[in-house]
Amino acid sequence: MKAVLQRVLSSRVEVAGQIVGQIDHGWLVLLGIGIGDTQDIAQYVADRCVHLRGFSDDQGKMNLSVQDVRGSMLIVSQFTLYADCNRGRRPSFDSAASPAIANELYEIFCECVRGTGVPVAKGIFQADMQVILTNDGPVTLIIEKNA
């Protein structure tokens, strides 16, 4: 499982011109789910995202978590994080989990985050989404846990 976290001042997801998920400050999480990923991995990565100290304290040091700053998380499923671009000119997605498994683990991930008290907004699984964000920093971090 791969999670790309972007610290944002605000972010939203639109589908067909309609806002389907929106947050103010917090993490925009682009979540990729790979073959072999499990519920335990989803719980582990969710916990890492919630507790990662990527927000600045009064001294400007990244010492605060999204919980500490009372932020939110906008979680967007993105299978293209598992693209293999090393051969040919077209990416291969052979390492991405099947849609049924990916959707189940995406929902589990979202519920794990919600269970910590962090507000969660979501995209729509497998939809053509437009993600709009205002980066803060910019700060972009990657959390990865392999099966």
- Catalogue the active-site residues: 78-80
What DSSP state is assigned to residue 82? G
What DSSP state is assigned to residue 118? -
Angle at 97 between CA 93 and CA 99, to 5 degrees: 100
Residue 34 CB neighbour total at 10 angstroms: 23
Helix ranges (H only) for 19-98 are 39-51
In the numeric block, the tokens 């582990």 are attached to 44
